Amino acid sequence: MIKRLLVANRGEIARRVFHTCRDLGIETVAVFSDADDGAPHAREADHAVRLPGARPADTYLSIEKIVEAALRAGADAVHPGYGFLSENAAAASAVLEAGLTWVGPSPASIAAMGSKVGAKALMAEAGVPVLPSLAVPVSGAAAGAAGEWPYPLLVKASAGGGGRGMRIVREPGDLAREIEAARREAESAFGDGTVFVEPLLERTRHIEVQILADAHGTVWALGERECSIQRRHQKVVEETPSPAVSPELRARLYQAAVRAARAIGYAGAGTVEFLVKDETVAFLEMNTRLQVEHPVTECVYGIDLVELQLRIAEGAALPPTPPEPYGHAIEARLYAEDPAQDWLPQSGVLHRFDVPGAGTRFSPVRHGLRLDSGVEDGSEIGVHYDPMLAKVIAHGSSRADAARRLAGALAGAKIHGPVTNRDLLVAVLRHDAFLAGDTHTAFLDQHGLAAGIPDPAGPHAVPLAALAAALAQAAANRAAATVQAAVPSGWRNVPSQPQRVSFLPGAGHASDGTGADRAVHTVSYRLTRDGLRVDGLPGTRLVSAEPTAVVLETDGVRHRFEVARHDGVAYVDSPLGPVRFTPLPRLPEPVERLAPGSLLAPMPGTVLRVEVKSGEPVAAGQVVVVLEAMKMEHRITAPAGGTVVELNAAPGRQVEAGAVLAVIEEQA
């Protein structure tokens, strides 16, 4: 029996495992890096061990430090979660050699699936359908053979997942560069830079089967998950069952998944992934661990996969048949990233994080909402790790029911801090094509959602929210006044000029500090004897105004706006949709204007490479500097052809958001 379990991970998956351990009476041990000191997962465990450093390679990817932490804390078992060391055969071996229980498959099973190229060959021998491909281990000769391969190609990390270490190559001349970029990213994320190349299939469905196997020969296939809504080859919306899988296709998928598990003597929870196009099925890979999207399976089958992992690790046998599924579940991954800026990860303080109705965390739900989160109010979103904030899961009696519940929960969530992909998720869940089940891996591109979405709140939401922000600020000023606090702000006995407040929609100022290069919204209103008069919003009536809440009536319909202010940004939440504003001062302070052609760091990070020299000519779109942040590479390119007249970046240098990395003087 496991008595004390160390979770070799962080964030929401660590908290998820702790939740089950508390239910089972198992003591818990957390590990945390310097960047995670004080993080929720480190506080919630019974015991916690610091891993000195911040980089994944120095902390959560260090097998030696993880095993040492487990022994020091008196743990008798280790759960790897997902990512980091979860599919590392050497880590599993080290844990077992230390006399501890590894909550996962055997090192041999992990190794068998650890090489995706080798896994394909093994699966083909076992009778699992495999996509014919030209996949080869990457070597110095791989790029030279590019002319013989059909394009587009996909470069993939052999040891990883989650879209990291993955690159699309459409032109032969780009292959060598993309191989090297994928290798570096894989090394950073997984501690293994091995990559390989295979043909890219586009507009397919990504379908996976959850399996659970014990050491006594029983293998369950627990439904399929549809994971086709992706960006950068990383899933953002997952569901079970798939709307496109017929009973006949489901039987084939189950048979292939069980055959794959038996071929490697698998024990524990795992996932077999397939590419599906029409009725064609091709093995993609096997994840020898718990998946990020496991909650949808738990909700539909009414089980706790982590509990079953622990019991299997203790030697228990599964019942002969799995439970019957019920209903439909959909999960949305909430990321701190800006879809309108090429999915650029965001960092900063998460001032408020509240998903109404999702109070039950980390537990299977029926006809309700579930929240698996690694953050809380006040959490600092740093640059060292994945930018996923939480997973929001809805279960319903039907797919339409689950989609409506999930979209409503996300739309009503209060998220104050870094920009997130929340509006994109809501747009996907309410899209006609999604509701019709017409999903595939190019869904975001096909429907114009890959570069951001139109204002989801409607034409009047922004003006009304801006008015609410202005009135709330005026109420706050009155509440803080030392004289005549009961007199409304701007009130006059005789008609006078209206009150004017200007806002910059979004979370920050423009590059020159004035907002001149972005749309500025100005509210113009009067508080008269007859009530509120607003330019551009006739028929709008003020019902009440407090520093944190404003009620407005338009055309006889009342709307309540909740207003919060953090770090100079106003966050306005209402049923019309969330909006954020940066108030602009009436008399802006003088600001230092940047030199034309300045290339700025889009976020805090580490300079990986500088690909130009001072005085060197560059072409439009040419890579100037490459940054690393949140386990991803970010390329800073020249906006136009010209000459590098200033270069402030050097490999290894830490830079803050907005730092001038280089200046390009455009050609005359």
| CATH classification of the domain holding 24 | 3.40.50.20
Give the pLDDT confidence score for residue 136 in this predicted structure: 47
In this structure, the answer to whether residues 178 and 251 fall within a common structural domain is no
> Cα 358 from chain centroid?
18
The full length of the chain comes to 668
How confident is the model at residue 489, as a pLDDT?
A: 63
pLDDT band with cut points at 50, 70 and 90 for residue 479: confident
Task: Kindly state the tokens that stand for 577.
Answer: 């949709």
pLDDT given for residue 517 in this prediction: 43
Q: Measuring CA to CA, how many Å separate 606 from each of 291, 600, 610?
A: 29, 13, 11
* Shared domain check, 477 and 620: no
Stretch 276-303: mean pLDDT: 93
Residue 340 in any domain: the answer is yes
Q: Read off the pLDDT band of 596 (50, 70, 90).
A: confident
Instruction: Say how far apart CA 639 and CA 370 lie, in whole Å.
Output: 44
Same domain, 258 and 372: yes
Helix or strand holding residue 164 (H, E): none
Coil, helix or strand for 174? helix
Task: Supply the range of the domain harboring residue 157.
Answer: 132-199
CATH number, domain with residue 488: 3.30.700
Q: What is the pLDDT of residue 156?
A: 82
Let me know if residue 480 belongs to a domain: yes
> Could you tell me which of 586, 550, 414 has the C-alpha nearest to residue 472?
550
Look at residue 175 in the predicted model and tell me its pLDDT: 86
The per-residue DSSP string of 123-184 comes to HHHTT--B-----EE--TTTGGGGGGS-SSEEEEESS--TTTT-EEE-SGGGHHHHHHHHHH
Q: Residue 134 is encoded by which pair of tokens?
A: 């030209």
Same-domain pairing of 193 and 228: no
CATH number of the domain bearing residue 641: 2.40.50.100
> What's the pLDDT at 270?
97
Query: Is position 109 within any domain?
Result: no
- What's the average model confidence in pLDDT over 411-415? 95
Q: Mind listing the pLDDT tens digit for each residue in 124-163?
A: 999 999 876 554 444 545 555 545 667 888 888 776 666 6
147 and 80 co-located in one domain: no
Select from 183, 199, 215 the last residue of a domain: 199
- As a whole number of angstroms, the distance between CA 263 and CA 282 comes to 17
Q: Which of 116-120, 276-280, 301-305, 638-642 has the highest mean pLDDT?
A: 301-305
Q: What is the rounded CA–CA span in Å between residue 127 and residue 425?
A: 38
The bridge status of strand 642-647 relative to strand 414-416 is unpaired
AA identity, residue 429: L
Is 60 exceeded by the pLDDT of residue 454?
Answer: no
Is 508 part of any domain?
A: yes
CA dist., res. 181 & res. 174, Å (int): 11
Q: Which of 446, 472, 498 is the last residue before a domain boundary? A: 446
- Does position 359 have pLDDT exceeding 80, yes or no? no
Q: Are residues 195 and 209 in the same domain?
A: no
pLDDT digit string, tens, across residues 503-554: 887 643 333 333 334 578 899 998 887 788 899 888 899 999 999 999 999 9
Question: Is pLDDT of 116 > 80?
Answer: no
Q: pLDDT band at 322, cuts 50/70/90?
A: very high
Name residue, tokens 């959602």: 449
Domain assignment present for residue 120? The answer is no
Residue pair 414/55 in contact by the 8 Å Cβ criterion = no
Q: Which of 132-146, 271-285, 369-383, 429-443 has the lowest mean pLDDT?
A: 132-146
Same domain, 415 and 467: no
DSSP 449-515: -BTB-S-TT-TTHHHHHHHHHHHHHHHHHHHH-SS-TTSPTT--SS--PPEEEEEEESSS--TTSS-
The predicted pLDDT at position 456 comes to 54
124 located within any domain: no
Q: Can you give the pLDDT at residue 363? A: 78
Does 186 map to a domain?
yes
Residues 346 and 406 in one domain: yes
Whether pLDDT at 45 is above 70: yes
pLDDT of residue 491: 60
- 440 and 473 within one domain: no
Question: Which is higher by pLDDT, 26 or 198?
Answer: 26
Q: Is residue 532 part of a domain?
A: yes
Please identify which residue in the block is written with the tokens 């043909």: 199
Residue 493 in this model has a pLDDT that exceeds 70: no
Strand residue runs (E) in 232-341: 234-240, 268-277, 280-287, 328-335, 337-338
pLDDT higher than 70, residue 488: no
C-alpha atoms less than 13 angstroms from C-alpha of 40 in its C-beta half-sphere: 20
pLDDT tens for each residue of 172-185: 888 888 888 888 88
CATH number at residue 215: 3.30.470.20
Phi-psi region of 489 (alpha: psi -120 to 50; beta: other; left: phi over 0): beta
Confidence band (pLDDT; 50, 70, 90) for 665?
confident
Do 214 and 238 lie in one domain? The reply is yes
Q: Indicate if 309 and 439 belong to the same structural domain.
A: yes
Among the three residues 199, 226, 256, which one is the final residue of a domain in this structure? 199
375 and 522 both lie in a single domain: no
What's the whole-number average pLDDT of the chain? Answer: 88
Query: Does the pLDDT value for residue 464 go beyond 90?
Result: yes
**Which has more pLDDT, 38 or 133?**
38
What residues does 137 pair with on adjacent strands? 196
SS3 call for 534 = strand
Q: What sign does the dihedral 434-436-440-445 (CA atoms) show?
A: negative
Give the pLDDT band of residue 632 (cuts 50, 70, 90).
confident
Beta strands 219-231 and 549-554, pairing class? unpaired
Looking at the structure of the chain, the number of domains it has is 5
pLDDT band at 492 (very low <50, low <70, confident <90, very high): low
In the chain, helix, strand, coil percent, each to 5? 25, 30, 40
pLDDT over 70 percentage in the chain: 89
> DSSP 3-state assignment of 286?
strand
Mean pLDDT for the stretch of residues 69-80: 98
The average pLDDT across 416-433 equals 95
